[in-house]
Amino acid sequence: MKRTPIACYFSMLLAAFTQSELSVAGDRPSDFIRPQLQADKPPINNKTQPDRAIHADLSTFADESWILPVRSSHLSPGQIRSRPLNMPNLQPFFLVGEDSASLVWLRQRATELQEMGAAGLAIEVTDTEALARIRAAAPGITILPVNGNDIATRLRIEHYPVLITATSLEQ
């Protein structure tokens, strides 16, 4: 067995007492309310005001044809059963396609969708004309072409159109 000199033990014992002040995370009330990512200054060349919310309108790209056609093989037009969800802080969004049922659903619910601030995902779109028809059914609402397979798998849905909120999945 190897012997450790007593001086090593003594230096380790003293090391614990050399720190000038011990602090524990969360020992002050302000520690609990401080944001995790706090920036001291806005980024360089940022012309927006840091206290103002920034929303990107991704539907204004000059050419979206590079992403089209969009196909979501896990989803098809059809009826769904409404069910509760528990997804706090989820912003409402909906899934639609270029089919007639989606366009009718979108026209009927456009005002409600706009009032709740829902964003749309066009998960079945063949070309830019079809995307334009979808957007025309709900003017003023951002609708982006996106593959919906991952969402369908995670939320266990098979059909669209569907509205997904923090508390429910409904048609």
Which residue in the block uniquely carries the two structure tokens 């709740």? Answer: 116
Partner residues linked to 143 by β-bridges: 120
Which CATH class name applies to 58-170? alpha beta
pLDDT score of 17 = 52
DSSP E strands: which ranges in 26-106?
76-77, 83-84, 93-97
Domain spans of the chain, in order of start: 58-170
Pairing status of strand 159-160 against strand 143-145: unpaired
Over 80: is that where the pLDDT of 32 sits?
Answer: no
Tokens encoding 151 = 């969402």
| H or E, element range at 122 | strand 119-124
**Which tens digits make up the pLDDT trace of 67-120?**
999 999 999 999 999 999 999 999 999 999 999 999 999 999 999 999 999 999
Half-sphere exposure at residue 14, Cβ-oriented, CA atoms within 13 angstroms: 6
- Measured in whole angstroms, the distance separating CA 142 from the mean position of its chain's CA atoms is 14
Average pLDDT, the chain: 80
Over 50: is that where the pLDDT of 34 sits?
Answer: no
Round to whole Å and give the CA distance between 152 and 37: 32
| H or E, element range at 30 | helix 29-33
pTM of the shown model: 0.65
pLDDT score of 6 = 56
Residue 92's alpha-carbon distances to 52, 69, 80, in angstroms, are 21, 24, 17
pLDDT score of 27 = 54
Round to whole Å and give the CA distance between 160 and 97: 7
**Angle formed by the axes of helices 100-116 and 128-137, to 10°?**
50
